Structure 1
Amino acid sequence: MRSEKVTFENKNNEKIAAIIDWPVHQHPKATALFAHCFTCSKNLTAVKNISKGLTSAGFAVLRFDFTGLGESEGEFESTNFETNIDDLEVAAHFLATEIEAPKLLIGHSLGGTAMLHASKKIVSAKGVVTIGSPYQPNHATHLFEDSIAEIKNKGRAKVSIGGRPFTVNNDLLKSLNENDSEHIISGLGKALLILHSPQDKIVEIDNAEKIYIAAKHPKSFISLDGADHLLSDKNDSTYIGEIIGNWVNRYLVFNEEKIFDTNHQAAAQTNAESLTTEVIADGHPLIVDEPKSLGGNDIGPNPYGLLSAALASCTSLTLQLYARRKKWELNVATVHVNHSKISSSDSNSKIDHFERNIELIGNLDDDQKNRLLEIANKCPVHKTLHSFSKVDSNLIE
């Protein structure tokens, strides 16, 4: 995904640092707003992985640092649950101005609880996703429960959250205690997806149960079995991004003409962080990667795997279309392709070798099978591989 650093101002005219993650084709089908966990930042690896899953599904995602956190201006000590909600509203307005008002709202931990509250004012949103989120905002107070008495008596206290020092004042404590989620969730009026790990030791699984019971349909729950609260295992956050990207399609209506750049059949994008490559082919998202032995993450086929798949799929399609035209009883055409490099008979160089094995299931005689084997060599991709091809490369400014 291509990531663009941006800033916007909160209600106190302080700069909020944000990143917009773009889909590879640069024509998002919708925008999503992401809220990170309590005292975290937009750069948390799990947040980036989830965002990448959404950009692969065609979304542009805005992730930002709440006031006083990460690269954003302001003091954390002066913030509270209401200012977090204010930041979300301002972020949604920024998205509406720069690209399109967000249709999807996502929050991790307390960010998810804040997103539930903010969703009442973000009317463009059609779906809300919570990830390991507490049912009530005051659940977060257990992170500094040993200092609550001091906060009440002195107005503030220095606490350690996640191994980092923060100053928490009485205003934040009151804000977390006085905001109630039950009526917010019951009157949500949007599709809700709840993702939570039964093994979450920071926000217990019963929080997800309470959110689910309070919410009205449409609502869904997916267990993140084995995941920890911060989603430190990359597989968990990658899975979440894929799940959200698929789930939300049921609740959003997209303008397909707006989504895809019809001037290009395919587009691919690889960033500096990994070899995992996002691909759009004829408007359909794919992931291409390299095996771990070559420095990749092995979460998709490599380019030659795709090329082999192109030959296999083109062959099976061609066979089925020919059999239909001839009214032959070909029930299933399965094509297996393996690619390798072999020595050329007339030089010291290597040539590409595609081994294609074809399985034909149906009521076919030997003549029909032999004719279909001949037709396999006439599939368009086969012809392309055997013909001279021209590739023009141009730089886009």
Structure 2
Amino acid sequence: MDNIVVADKQSEVATQSAWGNINLKAPSVVQVPVSPDKVATVTQRGQDLIVTLKSGEKVTIGNFFAVDQAGVGSDMVFVGEDGTLWHAQYDAAAFTGFTFEEVASLDELVAGIGTAGSAMPTWAIAGLSLLGVGGAAAAADNGGGGSSGGSDPDTSAPATPIDLLVSPDGLRLTGRGEAGTTVNIRDAAGNLIGSGTVGADGNFNVTLNAPQINSENLDVTLTDAAGNVSAPGTVTAPDATAPLAPTDLAINEQGTTLTGRAEPGSTVSVRGAGGVLLGTAVASADGQFSITLQPPQSDGQALEVSAADAAGNSSPVASITAPDVDTPDTTAPEQPTDLALADGVTFTGRG
């Protein structure tokens, strides 16, 4: 795929970017090296324009729908294989898609464009024309024609990476971004845990240094060849980590209440013989829980206690034995019988 050409309406500088996601810093004219008949859909997401080709390739033009204080917005020109220029017209107030107008000459193109949603000055058209189909000539090339040499530095950061996803095993992170940029992935502490490169199709697949399987929040940035860094995209890793087994288990003397500690927010369950559920509770923010046992367990029963998190991961089982409380004896002995006092010293009887 040839390069995308961006002509900044404010600075009057045209630059090239490899096929992939780009981020506009100001209202611009964007020249895309494909013909309209190869476009499947164009959609708006916030200020961004998403162009999906029939081939399945996708490119995001960041800030395409942003306008400056004067109400000037961005424009897009598609280039056919034969070099035909197609101006993509749209309603800036209520975007529903593009209608394409073929422009047979530069004069016609300049004359037909005038306001936000279709504003493209003469210098921009001329710049795009000089680049040729697909931007074959370097946008910063000022050689010939008596123009000054040198080129403006690239100070435009890549667009924020999108479609971020961590694999179920927590070992890979995929997404989309500007082709050729370097992908850096950092954990919540700012540690670099993976890096890679966005492919020519705008996709990337990065192997992580360690599995991320406990709902970790990750930041993903893109860095281009000039060192410009995108705003971070964020993604949450899957939760595939089971809680630890509950600890500090205790049952009161009456066998009615079981207390302990478990992962905050986890649901703690107590089961008796045959797996019968005796009670549940949710561990508080400090990890403590208290469960009312139904029925009370006061005969030395063996109980099993486990915790399950919101993702359904269950902890190992912790065991505890209920107290063995004997029933108090409230029956008085029978009255003694056959009582006798012999020789005034020995007392005998039965009882």
- TM-score clears 0.5: no
The alignment's TM-score, normalised by the length of structure 1, stands at 0.21
Greater fraction strand: 2
Greater fraction helix: 1
The alignment's TM-score, normalised by the length of structure 2, stands at 0.23
